[in-house]
Amino acid sequence: MAVMRDSSRRQVLRLLSAPAIQLLARQNGSPQDSHEGMATRGVKPAPRGKPSGIPFYAHFTDVAAKAGLRGVTVCGHERRADYVIEEMGCGAAFIDFDNDGWMDILVLSSSRFGDPPPDASTRLYKNNRDGTFTDVTKKAGLFRTGYFYGVAAGDYNNDGWEDLFLTGYPQNVLYRNNGDGTFTDVTKEAGLVNAEPRFGTGCTFIDYDRNGKLDLFVSNYVLFDPKSTPRAGDKASCNAEHVFCGPRGLPYGKHSLYRNNGNGTFTDVSEAAGISKASPGYGLTAVSADFDNDGWPDIYVACDSTPSLLFLNKHDGTFAESAMERGVALSDDGMEQAGMGVAVGDLNLKGTLDIVKTHFAADTPAVYVNDGKGNFTDETLLSGLATETRFISWGVGIQDLDNDGKPDIFWVTGGIYPELQDDPNQPFRGPRILFRSLGNGKFEELGSALGATTKALHCSRGCAFGDFDNDGDMDILIVNVNEPPTLLRNDLSVQREWIKFKLTGTKSNRSAIGARVTVRYGGKVQTQEVMSQGSYLSVNDNRLHFGLGTSKTVDAEVRWPSGLMEKFDKLPAGHLISIREESGITKRERFSKQ
Ligand SMILES: [Ca+2]
Ligand SMILES: [Ca+2]
Ligand SMILES: [Ca+2]
Ligand SMILES: [Ca+2]
């Protein structure tokens, strides 16, 4: 067992500055041998416990082809990636762009350097409400080729229609939803055009100053320039395997915060808000939630091969980067990890927001449990997740997939070097991973119980969780490299209760991003927040879903970003409850089993 559990050492590490930590980690032999590109700790898996034998009643079927999701997400050539911009892949979104109450699907694409396929575009699929989708990309004005990575959904102009922000290289794009099925690229008029080419990755809308207007945080991965960045195989100095160079060996990306001026424009406040002061790193997925429970939204950024970042909101327009002292920068033994995806949820049902972050192969994911004040304890080993170290891991969710009232953990896997795909030690196509909750913060990995389609091997990146068929269970959309996406329809083989919340802000931002719902059911308590990005560069269904086991009613408390608290007692299971700030419940919809 290479994982050290030495809390005094960790406390010492927290007191050191980030550069010192990095030096220490590297002196300790951060095993970069054949993986100079990304950090891995080279740990062995923890021993697996005896299977609980408790049946898992969720079953998944890949219905993507039948449902009409046919666009291929292009990421480099089948067996070659010259540059890191080709291979980091991208996210997907569940978003109801036409407000008909059914989740539509957005899937991003990257491209091939020097040989861009003319149809490698972001795809928007409209939900036909019968299990199928129609590709409306061109009609919606979203057809565009290029290198895109992350997506955030949010109604930045508070007109009732969800807008889209996409990160990319060399430029990000803000698409305003016109409300008539079309989008307009408003990047320039919004003031969001980069002065220099940038490699944007994570992005999240966040109302950081709580004035009811959604601001925007963007993380960046590396400084990339095809003129100066070595091509794969060109220079052995960047990566010994003759695969693409990066992130190590390339300059760090810098992160940005844009304040919403309320007139359709944004102002870059990265300096004034203290974002620029954070130690530089290779930023990927960015999430916003109130981790220290003070009513102000914070930002967590999964960083690849550098310490991850936690920006705590100081209530005065500034943030203090605090990941090291709060315990979410490094592994438990003080090592840098290749942070890719982030899930936020209530792992142990204590009413606080915990974090799961995915990493490289020969490393575990990180399980960070929140004490409710934003101090995190690394419970990777205790949780049972240290048993899985085989795959490079990406999009991840904390979601109650079997509606037993205990959120489970699901993630997708995939290699990054297509040149090495015949090497059995570098699995390029991997399975989907599911850890079911056993309660008390403990999880067990399920293998064969999942059905054949979850065992199918793919090279995946982003994934998004949502109930596309409105039947009360969470389905999963997965981005696959150089393939169409996977859509895992969830079918529960027993009757279990659930409840969903759709929130609309009035004083708060209309999308209610940052609104928190705490639900009490069957002696349990669970908290979720409406978020604008999660998983890996992806967007989940913004209707908060709670599995309830056998509980027929719940007591719920909503905390709006404005600070308003509202209580709703004895809400009925089996319903989507729509709540408008200050107006209470506006709709109770019963979903029929399809
Ligand atoms: Ca829709
Ligand atoms: Ca809008
Ligand atoms: Ca569960
Ligand atoms: Ca479903």
Distance CA 216, CA 473 (A): 30
Written as six digits, the tokens of 173 are: 């794009």
Q: How far apart are the CA of 361 and the centre of ligand 2, in A?
A: 40
Distance CA 473, CA 333 (A): 37
Note the pLDDT tens digit of each residue in 172-226.
999 999 999 999 999 999 999 999 999 999 999 999 999 999 999 999 999 999 9
Provide the pLDDT confidence category of residue 71 given band limits of 50, 70 and 90.
very high
Provide the pLDDT confidence category of residue 77 given band limits of 50, 70 and 90.
very high
Q: Which ligand is nearest to the CA of 162?
A: 2
Q: Shortest CA distance to 229 belongs to which of 284, 170, 307, 164?
A: 170
Report the pLDDT averaged over residues 430-444. 95
Q: Which ligand is nearest to the CA of 347?
A: 3
Q: How far apart are the CA of 31 and the centre of ligand 2, in A?
A: 46
Report the pLDDT averaged over residues 430-455. 84
Task: Look at residue 444 in the predicted model and tell me its pLDDT.
Answer: 95
Q: Which ligand is nearest to the CA of 99?
A: 1
Distance CA 309, CA 288 (A): 12
List 539's β-bridge partners, or say none: 93
Provide the pLDDT confidence category of residue 10 given band limits of 50, 70 and 90.
very low
Distance CA 149, CA 109 (A): 7
- For residues 396, 399, 401, 406, the Cα torsion angle rounded to the nearest 10 degrees is 130
Report the pLDDT averaged over residues 24-44. 58
Provide the pLDDT confidence category of residue 7 given band limits of 50, 70 and 90.
very low
Distance CA 594, CA 592 (A): 6
Chain-centroid distance, C-alpha 356: 10
Q: Which ligand is nearest to the CA of 181?
A: 1
Task: Answer yes or no: is pLDDT of 282 > 90.
Answer: yes
Residue ranges of the alpha helices (H) in 88-146?
137-140
Written as six digits, the tokens of 276 are: 């620029």
Provide the pLDDT confidence category of residue 237 given band limits of 50, 70 and 90.
low
Q: Which ligand is nearest to the CA of 61?
A: 4
Task: Answer yes or no: is pLDDT of 28 > 70.
Answer: no
Handedness of CA 329, 330, 334, 337 (dihedral sign): negative
Mean pLDDT (the chain, rounded): 92
Tell me which DSSP letter residue 386 carries.
Answer: G
Distance CA 285, CA 306 (A): 13
Q: Compute the chain's Rg from CA coordinates.
A: 22
Q: How far apart are the CA of 588 and the centre of ligand 4, in A?
A: 18
Q: Which ligand is nearest to the CA of 264?
A: 2
Q: How far apart are the CA of 366 and the centre of ligand 4, in A?
A: 28
Q: How far apart are the CA of 210 and the centre of ligand 1, in A?
A: 28
Considering only residues 51 and 453, tell me which one the structure prediction assigns the higher pLDDT. 51
Q: How far apart are the CA of 368 and the centre of ligand 2, in A?
A: 34
CB-based neighbours (< 5 A) of ligand 2, an ion? 155, 157, 159, 161, 163
Q: How far apart are the CA of 63 and the centre of ligand 1, in A?
A: 18
Distance CA 291, CA 376 (A): 10
Provide the pLDDT confidence category of residue 452 given band limits of 50, 70 and 90.
low
Task: Look at residue 476 in the predicted model and tell me its pLDDT.
Answer: 97
Q: Shortest CA distance to 173 belongs to which of 200, 196, 195?
A: 200
Task: Answer yes or no: is pLDDT of 14 > 50.
Answer: no
Task: Answer yes or no: is pLDDT of 572 > 80.
Answer: yes
CB-based neighbours (< 5 A) of ligand 3, an ion? 400, 402, 404, 406, 408, 437
Note the pLDDT tens digit of each residue in 359-380.
999 999 999 999 999 999 999 9
Handedness of CA 513, 515, 520, 524 (dihedral sign): positive
Task: Look at residue 593 in the predicted model and tell me its pLDDT.
Answer: 60
Q: How far apart are the CA of 466 and the centre of ligand 4, in A?
A: 7
Q: How far apart are the CA of 23 and the centre of ligand 3, in A?
A: 41
Distance CA 343, CA 385 (A): 14
List 303's β-bridge partners, or say none: 283
Q: Which ligand is nearest to the CA of 398?
A: 3
Considering only residues 310 and 240, tell me which one the structure prediction assigns the higher pLDDT. 310
Give the DSSP H/E element, type plus range, for residue 566. strand 565-572
Task: Look at residue 236 in the predicted model and tell me its pLDDT.
Answer: 59
Considering only residues 31 and 266, tell me which one the structure prediction assigns the higher pLDDT. 266
Q: How far apart are the CA of 175 and the centre of ligand 2, in A?
A: 9
Q: How far apart are the CA of 348 and the centre of ligand 4, in A?
A: 24
Note the pLDDT tens digit of each residue in 342-363.
999 999 999 999 999 999 999 9
Report the pLDDT averaged over residues 408-428. 91
Burial of 276 (0-12, 13-18, 19+ CB in 10 A): middle
Q: Which ligand is nearest to the CA of 500?
A: 4
Q: Which ligand is nearest to the CA of 472?
A: 4
Task: Look at residue 422 in the predicted model and tell me its pLDDT.
Answer: 87
- For residues 143, 148, 149, 152, the Cα torsion angle rounded to the nearest 10 degrees is -50
Task: Answer yes or no: is pLDDT of 582 > 60.
Answer: yes
Task: Answer yes or no: is pLDDT of 26 > 70.
Answer: no
Task: Look at residue 3 in the predicted model and tell me its pLDDT.
Answer: 33
Task: Answer yes or no: is pLDDT of 21 > 60.
Answer: no
Q: How far apart are the CA of 465 and the centre of ligand 3, in A?
A: 14
Task: Answer yes or no: is pLDDT of 96 > 90.
Answer: yes
Q: How far apart are the CA of 103 and the centre of ligand 1, in A?
A: 5
Task: Look at residue 426 in the predicted model and tell me its pLDDT.
Answer: 78
Considering only residues 421 and 512, tell me which one the structure prediction assigns the higher pLDDT. 512
Q: How far apart are the CA of 163 and the centre of ligand 2, in A?
A: 5
Distance CA 97, CA 111 (A): 25
Distance CA 302, CA 28 (A): 22
Provide the pLDDT confidence category of residue 238 given band limits of 50, 70 and 90.
confident
Q: Which ligand is nearest to the CA of 492?
A: 4
Least confident range from 7-11, 37-41, 299-303: namely 7-11
Q: What percent of the chain has pLDDT over 70?
A: 92
Provide the pLDDT confidence category of residue 16 given band limits of 50, 70 and 90.
very low
Positions of E strands within 90-246: 92-95, 104-107, 123-127, 133-135, 147-154, 163-169, 173-177, 183-185, 200-206, 215-220
Q: Checking DSSP bridges between strand 58-62 and strand 486-492, what pairing results, if any?
A: antiparallel
Q: How far apart are the CA of 583 and the centre of ligand 3, in A?
A: 32
Report the pLDDT averaged over residues 308-314. 98
Task: Answer yes or no: is pLDDT of 135 > 80.
Answer: yes
Note the pLDDT tens digit of each residue in 329-341.
999 999 999 999 9
Q: How far apart are the CA of 478 and the centre of ligand 3, in A?
A: 20
